[in-house]
Amino acid sequence: MSEEKRADITEVTTLEIGEVVKGKVTKIESSQAFVDVGYKWDGILPISEVSSLHIEQISDVLSEGDEIECKVLRLDEENEKLIVSKRAVDAERAWKVLQQKYEANENIHATVADVVKGGLVVDLGVRGFIPASLVERYFVEDFSDYKGKELTLKVIEIDPEKNKLILSRKAVLEEELNKKKAETLQSLEVGQIIEGTVQRLTDFGAFVDIGGVDGLVHVSELAWNRVDHPSDVLSEGDKIKVKVLKVSPEDERISLSLKETLEGPWDQVSDHIQVGDIVTGTVRRLVSFGAFVEVYPGVEGLVHISQISQRHIATPAEVLKENQEVKVKVLDMQTDQKRISLSIREAEESKPKPVEKAEKKEESDNHSGLNVTLGDVYPELRNLQ
């Protein structure tokens, strides 16, 4: 293409094919418009040369009196016919700007002109196409709401010769997300308590969005008591406060805890259990020196082997098994050290003994204890003895 030549409307006396001139729209018809470019006769602007996109009528884009720049496509002196194109001028300028944006990795802004099969179309002086897979970071089923919406985009493929321009909004969103992730990772500190949103649940824990990056709350960090599955405690979309346990910016791994933001069971147990109480507990672990019994959700106390049975036993497993319910007496509590001493033996000793039934010693004739004989009643019988 030769270098663009520009001329003032009032000074044009000669024209060349490919020349760019300024003009004023003088008349609009259904399939064409007439443009005064200062030549001997007005130029004809066909509807196909108005825009890079398909338009139904020229009046949707131009009005009489509009000043535009157009390119001379054909000049027929014999028939006094001049064909011009606004689209060609817009496209040449657009390709230059878009190439610069592409090379500089800069964002561009465009309004969705149409929703077509497979994606969205925008007008940037040339037709730009956004494939459906590059509109959002997630699957979109219906794009009807996107028409007329302004989007921030990146050029990911450009080929002026093939009139091909592929754009992506997803690339912009991912770039923003990565930037937000980096900022979040840099700002996090171990011990910090922050708010997040539960994104998804797995068998081993919950992933929580804490500002563009997901952290993991392991199932063991969901509550002070045992949790079989995260869904027993949380649901996707829940807003929760979590404590940062560990941050690894290199691999974007963050360990979080929900239970560390809650009042611990050791802070609560003294409100429910006192020294001397006899309570029901569950055997959680058996060790060589005794058994650990859960007496309050999340609180285990130790029953020393010497406090398990009235008789001598070699191992706790002789009389106990895990998950067995037992009665225990609280011997000592040191909640600041998370220690409770328990006794099964003393709990059993404290059981009320059954009352023995008094033996009846009364004689059936109600005369027992009087020591009366027949000889006392009939003295004459004594001589017979």
DSSP β-ladder status, 193-202 and 253-257: unpaired
What is the predicted pLDDT for the residue at 319? 94
- Mean pLDDT, rounded, for 34-56: 91
Same fold, 9-87 and 105-173: yes
161-196 per-position pLDDT tens digit: 999 999 999 999 999 988 888 888 888 999 999 999
What is the predicted pLDDT for the residue at 181? 87
202-211 per-position pLDDT tens digit: 999 999 999 8
| Percent of the chain whose pLDDT exceeds 90 | 70
258-281 per-position pLDDT tens digit: 999 988 888 889 989 999 999 999
The answer to whether the CB of 132 falls within 8 A of the CB of 140 is yes
Q: Does domain 188-261 correspond to CATH entry 3.40.1390.20?
A: no
Closest by CA to 85, choosing from 111, 49, 54, is 49
Between 383 and 140, the higher pLDDT residue: 140
Binned at pLDDT 50, 70 and 90, residue 342 comes out as very high
Q: Does domain 270-349 correspond to CATH entry 3.40.1410.10?
A: no
Residue 348 burial class via C-beta count within 10 angstroms: exposed 0-12, middle 13-18, buried 19 and up: middle
For the cut 90, the answer to whether the pLDDT of residue 132 exceeds it is yes
Apex CA 90: angle with CA 125 and CA 126, to 5°? Answer: 30
For the cut 60, the answer to whether the pLDDT of residue 383 exceeds it is no
209-240 per-position pLDDT tens digit: 998 899 999 999 998 878 999 999 999 999 99
Where does the chain have alpha helices with state H? 86-104, 170-187, 265-268, 344-349, 374-377
Q: Which two tokens stand for residue 205?
A: 């824990």
| Percent of the chain whose pLDDT exceeds 70 | 88
Question: CATH for 105-173?
Answer: 2.40.50.140
Binned at pLDDT 50, 70 and 90, residue 251 comes out as confident
For the cut 50, the answer to whether the pLDDT of residue 360 exceeds it is no
What is the predicted pLDDT for the residue at 239? 96
What is the predicted pLDDT for the residue at 350? 76
Binned at pLDDT 50, 70 and 90, residue 2 comes out as very low
User: Domain segments of the chain: what residues?
Assistant: 9-87, 105-173, 188-261, 270-349
What is the predicted pLDDT for the residue at 186? 87
Question: CATH for 9-87?
Answer: 2.40.50.140
- Mean pLDDT, rounded, for 15-27: 92
283-304 per-position pLDDT tens digit: 999 999 999 999 998 899 999 9
